[in-house]
Amino acid sequence: MSSIHSKIRRRTFIGGGVSAGLASMFLRPLEAAAANGPPTRFLLIHRPVGTIPDQFFPVAGGSETDFQLGPIMKPLEPFKADTLILDNVTAPRNPGWQGDRHGAGLISMLTGSRAISDGEPLNGDDQYHHITAASQSIDRKLLTESPRLQGSPVGDIHLGAYRDSVQGGRIYPEGGAANWRPLSYAAANKPTFPEVRPAVAAQKLFGNMVPGGAAAMARQQQLNRSVLDLVAKDLNNLQKQVPASQRAKLDSHLTAIQHLEMQIGALNGRGTCTPPALAPPLTAIPPGTQSGLRIDALDHLQVAQEQLAIIKVGFQCDLIRTATFSFAHGNSDIQFANILPSFGTMTGHHDISHMTDADSVRRLVAIDQWYCQRLADFLTDLKNTPDSDGSSLLDNTLVVFISDVSVGAGHLWQRMPVTFHGGKSVGLKGGRSLNMNGRYMNDLWASVLLAFGVPLPSDNRFAGNTNWPSLTSPESGPRMGTGAVAGIFG
């Protein structure tokens, strides 16, 4: 196996003149297949403001393995065997904590610990917005400590599909507080804000894999030419020198990149991508658009699809092994009147989540079902994409689907909507619906860490201190959770 790796590396790319970047981009998955099998990946996907639990979880009366999906999850029916539904999960927090409820919920779900101040003096405001994580988030802990996620040249990527999720967004721009916006934290008060511009995300991820880097890639996009034209000669040499048994897989990678570029080029109906330094301007709303409709609602679907496609191709080319993606943060004001037929109101998602009348509940069910459909579309793409050994990307990717609260109207933290998908390579036992009986999300993360080969502390727990520590004092207090849950992986 190692001799194949050596021949490809030394003769094909040095002797044949193919750039090291191109070698990394297209041969990493093939080399992995020749050595230890395809890489393992982890993806965390977040959608905002919870769900309607009795419409999300399986219909009452079923069993662990024989159950009927609730109306919201119906789009995921084709993936029932690849899905683990985790009912009655509790977020590791309590209602007395100061701080915005969506931010506090998301931070505690991702880090297992109570939020801290980002440096601004605490002001006694119950909805205090200057909060941030007190510790590393689960994705970063996996990336830095799991041997199964080591070795990719970029490592991870963090994307979103809502402009306000960037630092200094429109809704609470003061100070650019993290609060509910990021999913990923490198350490205490070290948030990574998501990139919400697909063209920029693609340039950052793939730009260093082509001659001239991101600037050359941007120029090619502006000329409406394929990024792959930049390396046409090298590709010809590469296709001739790769072993015949691997050529079909190489062609699959090239096709995926070309398809991705076409998708990005179509953003908002334009033939070229957004310039790399600029987000789509808020004034770029087509004439004739319904008055009051914001641009986020017009391209929410397109941007979400493109960002997920970038993650998928990054996985496929083994540029990254860990990623986070958020459709929108917990105070999302995306209007679904333009997205869903007969929606009946221009009110944004978050505001609707605080309404309890029948029409509002119907709309919330429709929105969460729409997000489940987007997840189903993405899982379809992963399942239909062969990995380097003939398995699928879905088999080798654990996809975790969460929200920041369980029910938006009360900012509830019991019965959080949590589902796991794919992950056969780490032993996920799909096709089941499990009652967690109030176990904390921390206990699920402890199980994930073990599945990815990360040892737990002596108490078998992940994070979970209950106090609000200062930025300079160590955490103390009881750890929230009881440890890894048996039976999720096997």
Residue 53 lies in a domain: yes
Nearest to 332 by CA among 99, 76, 160: 160
Please name the amino acid found at residue 298. Answer: L
Q: Is 159 helix (H, G, I), strand (E, B) or coil?
A: strand
d(C-alpha 313, C-alpha 255), whole Å: 10
Please name the amino acid found at residue 218. Answer: A
Residue 350 lies in a domain: yes
Query: Which residues lie closer than 8 Å to 307 by C-beta, 6 or more apart?
Result: 159, 160, 161, 196, 198, 201, 325
Beta strands in 165-310 (DSSP E): 184-185, 191-192
Tell me the sheet residues that pair with 191.
185
Residue 262 lies in a domain: no
CB 453 within 8 A of CB 463: no
For residue 302, give the H/E element and its range.
Answer: helix 295-316
Neighbour tally for 174: CB within 10 Å: 9
d(C-alpha 29, C-alpha 35), whole Å: 10
Angle at 353 between CA 349 and CA 359, to 5 degrees: 95
Neighbour tally for 189: CB within 10 Å: 18
d(C-alpha 309, C-alpha 398), whole Å: 16
Query: Which residues lie closer than 8 Å to 2 by C-beta, 6 or more apart?
Result: 35
Query: Which residues lie closer than 8 Å to 483 by C-beta, 6 or more apart?
Result: 443, 446, 456, 459, 460, 461
Query: Which pLDDT score, from 0 to 100, does residue 74 have?
Result: 98
Nearest to 366 by CA among 127, 25, 20, 74: 74
Q: What are 354's two structure tokens?
A: 């605080």
Residue 212 lies in a domain: no
Longest dimension (CA), the chain: 69
Please name the amino acid found at residue 436. Answer: M
d(C-alpha 441, C-alpha 91), whole Å: 6
Residue 408 lies in a domain: yes
Please name the amino acid found at residue 308. Answer: L
What is the CATH number for 62? 3.40.720
Query: Which pLDDT score, from 0 to 100, does residue 434 have?
Result: 97
Residue 210 lies in a domain: no
CB 102 within 8 A of CB 413: no
Tell me the sheet residues that pair with 116.
132
Residue 451 lies in a domain: yes
Tell me the sheet residues that pair with 386.
392
Q: Is 274 helix (H, G, I), strand (E, B) or coil?
A: coil
d(C-alpha 72, C-alpha 339), whole Å: 17
Q: What are 32's two structure tokens?
A: 């992995």
Q: What are 333's two structure tokens?
A: 């004001």
Query: Pseudo-torsion of CA 143, 146, 148, 149, nearest 10°?
Result: 10
* pLDDT tens track for 230-247: 544 555 566 666 677 667
Query: Which residues lie closer than 8 Å to 393 by C-beta, 6 or more apart?
Result: 41, 312, 315, 316, 382, 383, 385, 386, 387
Query: Which pLDDT score, from 0 to 100, does residue 250 have?
Result: 66
Angle at 327 between CA 321 and CA 330, to 5 degrees: 120
Tell how many helices (H) and how many strands (E) occur in the chain: 13, 11
d(C-alpha 223, C-alpha 176), whole Å: 35
Query: Which pLDDT score, from 0 to 100, does residue 14 have?
Result: 29
| Tally of domains within the chain | 1
Nearest to 28 by CA among 321, 270, 260, 317: 317
Question: The domain containing residue 99 runs over which residues?
Answer: 44-196+304-490
Radius of gyration (C-alpha) of the chain in whole angstroms: 22
Burial of 176 (0-12, 13-18, 19+ CB in 10 A): middle
Please name the amino acid found at residue 232. Answer: A
Angle at 155 between CA 150 and CA 156, to 5 degrees: 130
Residues of the chain with pLDDT under 70: 1-36, 172-176, 208-242, 245-246, 249-250, 252-284, 469-475
Q: Is 105 helix (H, G, I), strand (E, B) or coil?
A: helix
Residue 250 lies in a domain: no
